[in-house]
Structure 1
Amino acid sequence: MSEAQRAAQTGQRKQLEALEKLAERRVVAESEKRKEDEARAQYLLGVQRKLQEAEIRAKQEELQRTPDESAAKARAEHDAELLRLKEEHAQAQATHERAVAEREEKLRQLQADQEQFRTQASSRTQMSHLTDSSVPSQTSAELSVISTVIDPVLAKLDRLKDVMHQMVQTSQRSAEPADSHDKTTRAQNSPRSSRTKSTTRVSTSTSKRSSKTRATRSKKPDDDDWGSDSSSSSDSSQDELEGQF
């Protein structure tokens, strides 16, 4: 073998060795690159898994928070509505109490006026009774006119007082059932007592009028004088009673 051939073989061998070393370096580089890619892929998978878990937790928290917020909102609305209803109830109760107080005040005033009227009528009847010995015919006529005028007025006053009592009882029965029973009992006893007093006074007035009429008939006054005195006395008594009303 010549030197040229040996040199050529040596050159080829060196090239092969260089190629093998280059191939080995490439294999090592590729292997390292593959490892880096795998590590990067594992990292990305871990990050993605964490993101998914975080997203799942966020959704669960949101789902749990939504009912809580809805419940809190509903509770706040309920409390506001309850407060509004309480305020309206308090206002209605105050209005009702004022109305009941006004009706009771009117009823007391009506009773006071009725008692005053009865007292005046009784005093006038007594004054007429005192003057009966001097002017019997005039006293009898005045008593007749007074009874004719007073009886319907007393009946109207009793009916009006009964109506006022019924109105008060109805208002109290709708607001306070327990107190309504006591007030109704007192209201029922009051008109009965008033009617009893009125009946007693009317009966007394009627009996006095009957006795005085009999006394007048027994005296037998002159027809003309008695008629004129009775007419004038009736007119004056009726004018006085109408003036009082």
Structure 2
Amino acid sequence: MIQPPAIEIQQVSHKYKSASENTLTDISLDIFESDVFGLLGPNGAGKTTLISILCGIIPHSFGGVNFYDRGKEVSDTERRSLIGFVPQEYAFYHELTARQNLDYFGAMYNLKKTDLVERREELLEVLGLTKAADKAVGTFSGGMKRRVNLAIGIIHKPGILFLDEPTVGVDVQSKNAIIRYLQQLNQAGTTIVYTSHHMSEAEEFCNRIALIDHGKVIAHGGLTELKTENKVGDLQSLFIKLTGEAYRD
């Protein structure tokens, strides 16, 4: 069965004004509906730049990006409600409570008040934040802040969710809880595009990946097939084999 596309990336390149070389060069990828698609690579490979382009945060210099909702191509305006983004940096107001943050960002998506309250309380409960929901988020632990970040990114029930290092710097319990909930979202139909430096987490979480190095795709496809083709037993070995062992800064 051929999966319908969620995102088509066609020969996308990008060069920052201050840079002497492209950050991304001729990136072409298909991401399918209900994928958990890993964008992986060393520091400086271009992963965050690509996600920023896909989320409409920065424009691409060349190429094209198309988004689809259940097989129908969506406009740039419709894309805003289709996608959710959970950045590596905390993207909330530290002085506001968890409830106030969710109310604020839910209103930005024009959620009706009754729908917003129901969705807010659902996320606070499922992400273990109810007891602390009326405390300033700035007082939270790192794991709790990550869960608030996630809740904000999915408050509007996006069909496509972008995650940039969603479990960085959190304890094992929070990491497991976040990944478990993301798996539930994916099983319910959410397409996930994910970056991480945690290879064991990515191997367990993703069904398809693209390895990016020096702004170019050096391998992409099903994780099992890529490991077989390259005669390696795990994702970390595949990563090292294709990107090398030199320091990356």
TM-score (norm 2): 0.18
TM-score by length of 1: 0.18
Structure with bigger strand share is 2
Higher helix proportion, which one? 1
Q: Tell me which structure has the larger Cα radius of gyration.
A: 1
